[in-house]
Amino acid sequence: MQTAKPITLPPEGLGDGVITVRPLADRDAEAFARGTADEAVRRFGHLPLADYTADIVREQIRGVIAEGLRSGELAVLAIADATDDRFLGSITLFGIHGHSAEVGFWLAPAARGLGATSRAVELLAEWSHGHGIRELTARTELANHASQRVLERCGFGVDGEPTEQRAPDGAVFTGLTYRRATRPA
């Protein structure tokens, strides 16, 4: 992993007036833990742990998440409502190698269908471009049509045929790989 610079966002996060992408905070722990219990998040999110509690989330915020931001190798971020800072879901930048990185995301059920994920992906893509990342990839299971729609709305294109892949949590699945430039040509 080649990013030596810490990953830092502006103090106010990345926002568009509707949503904000910002570092996870202790105030997000309860909502994050609840969100990870959702059936779709459990099936398609491929999160590192099978179960989360608010205490586990707080521990990760101070541990592996803080270290990932410091090392420049991992950014687990909150997607929040811009008006009240309510936690809506999470977007992650990982697998950072030179000028490319992988993006992953999930939303709590109540936040779905409002365009929050597409907005978060666009904000993170723009920020990434300004920090030397020129290409984003994303992987999704064949059955995860919602994520596929988000990626396609955000200008990602399918790269090849479905293949057997290993998710960050170690699960093996048949999926699609998507790619896009961080800034459209």
The DSSP string of 140-172 is: EETT-HHHHHHHHHTT-EE-SS-EEEE-TTS-E
Beta bridge partners of 105: 91
User: pTM (2 decimals)?
Assistant: 0.93
Sign of the torsion angle spanned by Cα atoms 5, 57, 18, 110: positive
Measured distance CA(96)–CA(2) in Å, rounded: 7
φ, ψ (nearest 5 deg) of residue 10? -60, 155
55 exposure class (CB count in 10 Å sphere: 0-12, 13-18, 19+): exposed
The residue ranking higher by pLDDT, 33 or 46, is 33
Instruction: List domains and CATH numbers for the chain.
Output: 14-134 (3.40.630.30)
In the predicted model, what is the mean pLDDT of the chain? 93
Band of residue 143 on the pLDDT scale cut at 50, 70, 90: very high
